[in-house]
Homo-oligomer: A and B are copies of this chain.
Amino acid sequence: MKKKSASCRIIVLVMSVCFARTAFSQADPDTLAFDRYLQISRMIVQRALTDTAGYHLLRGLCRIGPRLVGSDNSMKAILWAKKTMENLGFDNVTLQPVQVPRWIRGDVESAEILRSPAMPGRELSVAALGGSIPTPAEGIEAEVVEVPGMDSIEMLADKIAGKIVFFNEPMDPGRTETFSAYGRAVAQRVRGPSEAAKAGAVGVIVRSVTTKYDNVPHVGTLIYADSLPRIPAAAIGLRDADALHETLKKNPRARVRLTLSCRNAPDTLSYNLFCEITGREKPEEVVVVGGHFDSWDKGHGAHDDGAGCLQALEVLSLLKRLAIQPRRTIRSVFFINEEFGLNGAVEYGRWAQSGREKHIAAVEADRGALTPRGFSVGSNPAVLEKMQSWLPFLSSALIEWIRKGGGGADIAQIKNVQAYIGYVPDVQRYFDFHHSDNDVFSAVHPREFELGAAAMTILAYLISEEGL
């Protein structure tokens, strides 16, 4: 039985290559298409790794600083990117106006365990969650109730009135898939403040949702329930989360003062930004490759998602450097405001539907710029299978697999696309950086960044040539 399995697998391996060749000779008058694609894909990888041009652009972007949506810095970065696209000579460089919310961190964010007869005081490393209301100028001062996770809040509800709730659920380290561990732990950050308010809490401190054990707070958005009072909320670094936990064990009545000067400001104008290489035969059929250009106001927003945007731009740049004009239009889109509500993606989606263009595929890069692993695809099975037949061309960019799965939050707003494609790199380190001062340019590796860009270039190019 085992022998049979093996022979069968070998036959299939051989057959897949044969079928792949057949597919190409059917789709392309040139029967050498398979070999040509192999050659082109290797050229793309080699060029990316040798020039590392996109990586160097990322350095320029990171020098501007982080790009919180609606901020002056964000506008500076958008204009830098527009100029960069123009300098690179791409077609149809477009700023697309988008109304966006604006939240301002302000100058003050601090927390301290107050000195008591039993305990010395202690500063805590905190940062306001995105969207949080401020505290009064003098802060809020209260006892603290530690809640080990969202599941426990109902049980502790009668202890919470008038207190600061300290959500302290760690990301589960035992899961290989860091995104899945993030997905679970992040509930306390997103919904925790309103859950706490429901039970009468006056403020919230949330254990940072991160894989890195240091003292850097990792921020991110909260969502206030409309029906409940809004209370101020901040993330706390892991060392201080553990220190607060220890303090509360020794002195359950320990008091904390939390002071945040953040505030919501009126909506403002921002922009999606895109450019393209117009298709040589089917210019009205579009393959989108994109990331979101806004970031949190911590670090440089390097992995999240400056890298994704500049990888998307590197897709066009690599084709241009190799003098390849694709059959269909390939467009690099920098969506604005993924972090605070997807306004840019919604606007792009609306615009895409209103025009004469047909969007056939969309690739999103928003999981960091570490070494490539695969692509996750939302499509019908035939399209998925067609893309899987291209794996031989993607292996030099270290793509191991193409699997059924989700594409990404931004591209999901474009309707009727045949394939929603998520670029999936290695993500073991991603949450070390995510939404924090750790997300700086030096955390991005040039080879890893460029292999990702090359993988997306090869995929976008093949879709453009072969259709789906």
Task: Please give the residue numbers on chain A whose beta carbons come within 8 Å of chain B beta carbons, in ascending order.
Answer: 1-6, 8-9, 12, 15-16, 19-20, 22-23, 26, 45-47, 49-50, 52, 173-176, 178, 211, 371, 373, 381-382, 385-386, 388-389, 396-398, 400-401, 426, 428-429, 432, 445, 447-448, 451
Contact, CB under 8 Å: A175 / B389: no
In the bound assembly, the distance between CA atoms of A425 and B12 in angstroms comes to 27
Contact, CB under 8 Å: B12 / A9: yes
Chain B residue with the shortest CB-CB distance to A213: B446
Contact, CB under 8 Å: B2 / A12: no
Number of copies: 2
Q: What's the least CB distance linking A368 to chain B, in Å?
A: 12
Q: What's the least CB distance linking A318 to chain B, in Å?
A: 13
Among A174, A389, A401, A428, residue most surrounded by chain B Cβ atoms (within 10 Å):
A428
Report chain B residues within 8 Å CB of A428.
371, 445, 447-448, 451
Q: What's the least CB distance linking A209 to chain B, in Å?
A: 15
Chain B residue with the shortest CB-CB distance to A447: B428
In the bound assembly, the distance between CA atoms of A178 and B26 in angstroms comes to 36
Q: What's the least CB distance linking A208 to chain B, in Å?
A: 17
Contact, CB under 8 Å: A2 / B15: no
Report chain B residues within 8 Å CB of A23.
1-2, 5
Among A2, A4, A15, A26, residue most surrounded by chain B Cβ atoms (within 10 Å):
A2
CB < 8 Å: which of B5, B373, B396, B426 contacts A176?
Answer: B396
CB < 8 Å: which of B4, B16, B447 contacts A19?
Answer: B4
Known contacts A428-B451, A448-B428; is-contact A176 B398 (Cβ 8 Å): yes
Q: What's the least CB distance linking A46 to chain B, in Å?
A: 4
Report chain B residues within 8 Å CB of A371.
371, 426, 428
Report chain B residues within 8 Å CB of A5.
15-16, 19-20, 23, 385, 389
In the bound assembly, the distance between CA atoms of A49 and B176 in angstroms comes to 8
CB < 8 Å: which of B173, B429, B448 contacts A50?
Answer: B173
Contact, CB under 8 Å: A19 / B1: yes
Report chain B residues within 8 Å CB of A15.
5, 8
In the bound assembly, the distance between CA atoms of A340 and B211 in angstroms comes to 38
- Ordered by A's residue number, 7 sampled pairs between the chains whose C-beta atoms are within 8 Å are A1-B19, A2-B22, A5-B19, A46-B174, A46-B175, A176-B451, A428-B447
Contact, CB under 8 Å: B45 / A176: yes
Chain B residue with the shortest CB-CB distance to A177: B396
In the bound assembly, the distance between CA atoms of A233 and B423 in angstroms comes to 45
CB < 8 Å: which of B49, B173, B432 contacts A49?
Answer: B173
Report chain B residues within 8 Å CB of A176.
45, 49, 396-398, 451
Contact, CB under 8 Å: B50 / A174: yes
Report chain B residues within 8 Å CB of A381.
6
In the bound assembly, the distance between CA atoms of A432 and B1 in angstroms comes to 46
Report chain B residues within 8 Å CB of A8.
12, 15
Contact, CB under 8 Å: A382 / B6: yes
Q: What's the least CB distance linking A462 to chain B, in Å?
A: 14
